Structure 1
């Protein structure tokens, strides 16, 4: 039962990396879109593409925290004790990012839109970096039960590299999805704009991954060995194939299928990391069985998880499907009752 719940937790991480990562990637390109005039069109597309689903994607993060807290309380205590600072910074970024995105669109004053947009964009960069650094700190074995909070647990080679990889991967996902969104919204001028950025982001992922091989050989030896043999290596290879398939689909302008392959590449990478850590939740110090809660708690958690999947899963699938088909319309000013006032355009 503990192993099953642990895999559910890995799947939740993969789901958030793909769904939430796409939104973070859109925010990353919002940050690099340029000034008010130059970045007007890309930001318009980002606003329209994200509006229907950006809040829903955080469901996966909440689900992950509940699973971790309830099923593996020892793990929860160790991680949040040793890595509270990057987790707190990620949480602050998550809140500010949502606030910036929600407040930017109804704002009429240019100065306010710039402030809210900057908050949204910068937070979209910092939040995935700190979340990636947390995973890197865990993978490198710097976190154990009783480890005190310190910068060494996350401000080191593997954590920083993982944080940068997280940013690059979200930028890749965001650009791939925005290519398809540009066609869906009739913004043909932005298709090649985000196509180029998707290819550049993939190149950044490849460079960081190759650079990370020698750096993590000694710094995260247990996970490195898990990723270079057995099931971990197979999943890494499949992730690489899906990434290359995404590049080919982008080159041949097949933007619909590129969404699926890009998501598969990120999800398979997370799965490979989960396989590489087996049987540890905290490499070489805390196994799944050692971290597991009481048996009856795990049984009830499994039951609740199944119920949640049955009740919440179909609506989420329907929502994502409707959004992909362009059936969901963003709220207008009339819907939100947002009205202009004197001096709004100043």
Structure 2
């Protein structure tokens, strides 16, 4: 039971890293698009891409917290007590990002639009960095077991956390650029296809460089996780690297649908590699999955609820993404109300 709950938790983390990460990565390209005139068209593509789905992605984050709190309360207490600063930064970033994205479309003054846009873009970088720093602190053993609080500063301001934070930002930017290249193709905007293709290649190169540096940092700061990455998780590391390069290859010339799947596989395999590398610890070398697990009755109830979610909620997500990709949502070309003509025509 405890193993099933842990697998469920890491599956949710992986899904959020992919879909929520692509959402945050789009905000990174909003931040770097340039001034109002230069960045107008890239931002239009970004808004078109994330508009229908940006709220839905955070369902997975809530699910992660619920499963962690319910099934592994000791780990939840230790992580939240130790990492309350980056968690607070991430929470504020998500709220401000969502509010600025929504309100930025409702205001008419250019100055207000720019302010909301800046908040949206900066928050899109702070949130993935904070989550990456938390993962780095956990991997490097900065979170003590027993529901106790670790150092509130050094736990997420340390070499592993910094590298993992930068890796999170660069990987989300890479995945977003690949997906935006495909969306620009759907819009038949060849200029934007080239624009985001260049950024996908640049972000992929940066992510690869950060990952390479990160291996040396993890080797010295998180030896247990490094040992896992170079042994049982090594196939996933290789899959991530090959899929990442494959996505860039498939972007050459006319963007191929497989490029999106390869980029998603690269990000997902990277997150799964972290989970496999530190298995069967929730907190490396201090708290195992079995030691942190709640009573079997509690875990059974969570698994049953998760099964119902798979049957009821996941199909809705799939339908949302399919409608989005086919341009059948109101924001993408289907009017909320059909055109009924003028009053004279109706008379």
Query: TM (normalized to structure 1)?
Result: 0.94
1:167 is matched with which residue? 169
What is the rounded CA distance, in whole Å, between the counterparts of 1:216 and 1:51 in structure 2? Answer: 37
Deviation, structure 1 residue 329: 3.0
1:344 is matched with which residue? none
Say yes or no: does 1:325 pair with 2:326.
yes
Deviation, structure 1 residue 187: 2.3
For residues 210-267 of structure 1, the C-alpha deviation after alignment (integer angstroms, 9 at most, x for no partner) is 111212112010001000012x001111111111110110124334211111001111
Deviation, structure 1 residue 331: 7.7
What is the rounded CA distance, in whole Å, between the counterparts of 2:182 and 2:328 in structure 1? Answer: 14
Say yes or no: does 1:42 pair with 2:76.
no
What is the rounded CA distance, in whole Å, between the counterparts of 1:195 and 1:153 in structure 2? Answer: 36
Deviation, structure 1 residue 41: 0.5
2:101 is matched with which residue? 101
**Alpha carbons 2:86, 2:130 under 8 Å: kept:** yes
Equivalences for 1:70-149 in 2 at 5 Å? 70-145=70-145, 146-149=148-151
What is the rounded CA distance, in whole Å, between the counterparts of 1:260 and 1:235 in structure 2? Answer: 16
1:222 is matched with which residue? 224
Any unmatched runs of 5+ in structure 2?
A: 338-347
Equivalences for 1:1-346 in 2 at 5 Å? 1-145=1-145, 146-230=148-232, 232-330=233-331
**Alpha carbons 2:185, 2:255 under 8 Å: kept:** no
1:342 is matched with which residue? none
Higher mean C-alpha displacement, 66-75 vs 250-259: 250-259
What is the rounded CA distance, in whole Å, between the counterparts of 1:214 and 1:270 in structure 2? Answer: 18
Higher mean C-alpha displacement, 146-155 vs 10-19: 146-155
Deviation, structure 1 residue 325: 2.0
Deviation, structure 1 residue 335: 6.3
Tell me, what secondary structure is at the counterpart of 1:229? coil
Deviation, structure 1 residue 49: 1.1
Tell me, what secondary structure is at the counterpart of 1:53? coil
For residues 117-176 of structure 1, the C-alpha deviation after alignment (integer angstroms, 9 at most, x for no partner) is 000000001000001100110011111122334211110000110000000001001111
Query: TM (normalized to structure 2)?
Result: 0.94
What is the rounded CA distance, in whole Å, between the counterparts of 1:37 and 1:250 in structure 2? Answer: 27
What is the rounded CA distance, in whole Å, between the counterparts of 2:299 and 2:79 in structure 1? Answer: 20
For residues 165-196 of structure 1, the C-alpha deviation after alignment (integer angstroms, 9 at most, x for no partner) is 00000100111111111121232211100000
CA RMSD of aligned residues (A): 1.5
Tell me, what secondary structure is at the counterpart of 1:281? strand
**Alpha carbons 1:81, 1:149 under 8 Å: kept:** no
What is the rounded CA distance, in whole Å, between the counterparts of 1:40 and 1:199 in structure 2? Answer: 22
Tell me, what secondary structure is at the counterpart of 2:282? strand
What is the rounded CA distance, in whole Å, between the counterparts of 2:113 and 2:86 in structure 1? Answer: 28
For residues 298-323 of structure 1, the C-alpha deviation after alignment (integer angstroms, 9 at most, x for no partner) is 11111111011111011111111221
Aligned positions, number: 334
What is the rounded CA distance, in whole Å, between the counterparts of 1:331 and 1:256 in structure 2? Answer: 20
**Alpha carbons 2:26, 2:46 under 8 Å: kept:** yes
Higher mean C-alpha displacement, 82-91 vs 250-259: 250-259
What is the rounded CA distance, in whole Å, between the counterparts of 1:316 and 1:262 in structure 2? Answer: 20
What is the rounded CA distance, in whole Å, between the counterparts of 1:222 and 1:250 in structure 2? Answer: 37
